[in-house]
Structure 1
């Protein structure tokens, strides 16, 4: 089969590799679509680490097939997998991006998304990803059925949407909150949709692209602000009687969005960080402590949010055709990476294996 294989920073190659065999208790899946994530791009451009004679990206092993947001059809599985996951050959499925070990401190406490070994599809050789014609699901995986009526690219969007919904869950949004979402890319748009579903007083979307802000409105944002030409602070102050936003969800990955959020929040507000940052971010921590006593929370992956994300995509409430802007053949993976790196011509880019 064809597969994209990581050989190091900026060295991903399309190769012919053997079709894998389904593991005992697992499944063989024919990949229908795989999205390119900002973290995939971070791995591709990653600073090199030296391991003996090998050079590896800082976040991925070499000789691994990337791709952690995907959908596909079950080709083969045994009775144990069939009973565990409730799927049959021919079913369209997705799998959570992490394959938990189910034995570490986090897994045994129900916090599987922070699993200590942290085997994510597409980052370690133990869990090859979906930039290939076929992939396998290990027996430890978390697997869900998805409607076969969806476009494959739309079904693959369940992964980033689940991540966005987890960030929304972390925020603890209340009915009278004013929620600000920074960034209207795949994660930010999912945050907007998830925040709107919590029915707060207002959801305000921030971005530098008018086209993305228009898409944010279609996802339910009550108000949009182009921060390249308008200061959002007086607008948010006006909405909140001068106090500031109750919740700020950061989904841009740009360092300037972090102090922006700290300044927009009211005292005792909540800041949720999800983005993948290329560079370190420095802020005035006295704003978090002495000035405002903020709750600053991280969010990682999409634990327990996959069923909701599946329902949301299947419901048709999201403008999926406008979110999933590009579907390219697997052989054009380099063009896909460049589209994601550019950031101005696309929202969600997916690869479609033959």
Structure 2
């Protein structure tokens, strides 16, 4: 028997992807949850660079003319999701450990639990890789959405603004990048970029208490935010020679760790050059184009550890705890909120690299 928290309308507004650069706001029936599913009323959904890349028609792999698109036609986008549980059977509620009226955030991926990666515990690298808002499962750019049984849901306080709660997704991603870096107390850590992912990496790195956290960005306002998030030092590459500054701080050796969060190709070679020998490079970005570097720096020159990071596995409880603690300047990080009917404006705001936005969100109920 399905339990509901009050009356649910028959229809709703939802953004639907039809083709690259063709997202439409449509009237759809509110979905009915199956016996093992939940229905949530979406309260906020973040918009990020991967949404923008998918909107432009990007594919999974560069250089493949028959490549699979990131987003299936007919899918509702949106993967940085928070919402209120409004309907679900006792079975489904128990499965996710929630009750009607709880606010939850959802991990981006819905793992299959059948592939080699899932069976080995690497669920975030699931082979089919079905993700909310990209493939198979409708995302959060709608007034209501289904939470399937294999989804990973986490409770989060209803006392905080919904767009702050939705920041749990990018923050968990950032924390995973920090975990990949394996920071120690002696490390000098450089984080390139003070956007949503970079600020989250600064937050995570500062919580690890290394010797120094250095933030790089061309925007002075973002650098001020980086300080509020825990950066010990901020540097603007347009104003100082960051290579010379960091060499001077490290006895001429270079940084121990570099975490790349800009998505700009120039930041990759910058990081390789800023690192000391045997340093650690972590990549967490969405690039618009291919990146070329001198691989001899990685091998013959420095013997670097180069690490990728994907999604936010096992970092959601920490991200939620940090957000709920109130220590972050989330009013300054979560800069722009729009209604569903302004989805194009939200995408354009994210695309405007010269603009003042940091974290852009849609509020379906607004």
TM-score, normalised with respect to structure 1: 0.96
> 2:131 matched to 1:120?
yes
Structure 2 match to 1:280 = 290
Task: Name the CA distance, whole Å, in 2 between partners of 1:166 and 1:47.
Answer: 24
Aligned equivalent of 1:87, options 95, 98, 114 = 98
Task: Name the CA distance, whole Å, in 1 between partners of 2:70 and 2:265.
Answer: 20
Q: Secondary structure at the match of 1:128?
A: coil
Task: Name the CA distance, whole Å, in 2 between partners of 1:65 and 1:163.
Answer: 22
Task: Name the CA distance, whole Å, in 1 between partners of 2:164 and 2:223.
Answer: 20
Q: Please state how far the C-alpha of 1:56 moved relative to its aligned partner.
A: 9.8
Structure 2 match to 1:63 = 74
> 2:211 matched to 1:211?
no
Structure 1 match to 2:23 = 12
Q: Deviations over 1:139-173 (max 9, x none)?
A: 00111100010100000000000000000000000
Structure 2 match to 1:45 = 56
Structure 1 contact 184–207 (Cα < 8 Å) conserved = yes
Structure 1 match to 2:245 = 235
Structure 1 match to 2:3 = none
The gaps in structure 2 that reach 5 residues or longer are 1-11, 61-65
The gaps in structure 1 that reach 5 residues or longer are 50-54
Aligned equivalent of 2:340, options 295, 305, 330 = 330
Structure 2 match to 1:52 = none
Structure 2 match to 1:152 = 162
Task: Name the CA distance, whole Å, in 1 between partners of 2:35 and 2:94.
Answer: 13
Task: Name the CA distance, whole Å, in 2 between partners of 1:85 and 1:325.
Answer: 31
Structure 1 match to 2:7 = none
How many residues align? The count is: 348
Q: Please state how far the C-alpha of 1:24 moved relative to its aligned partner.
A: 2.5
Task: Name the CA distance, whole Å, in 2 between partners of 1:220 and 1:253.
Answer: 22
Compute the RMSD of aligned alpha carbons.
Answer: 1.3
Aligned equivalent of 1:190, options 188, 191, 200 = 200
Q: Secondary structure at the match of 2:19?
A: coil
Q: Please state how far the C-alpha of 1:111 moved relative to its aligned partner.
A: 0.2
Task: Name the CA distance, whole Å, in 1 between partners of 2:118 and 2:68.
Answer: 27
Instruction: List aligned pairs for 1:216-227, cutoff 5 A.
Output: 216-227=226-237
Task: Name the CA distance, whole Å, in 2 between partners of 1:56 and 1:176.
Answer: 44
Structure 2 contact 83–105 (Cα < 8 Å) conserved = yes
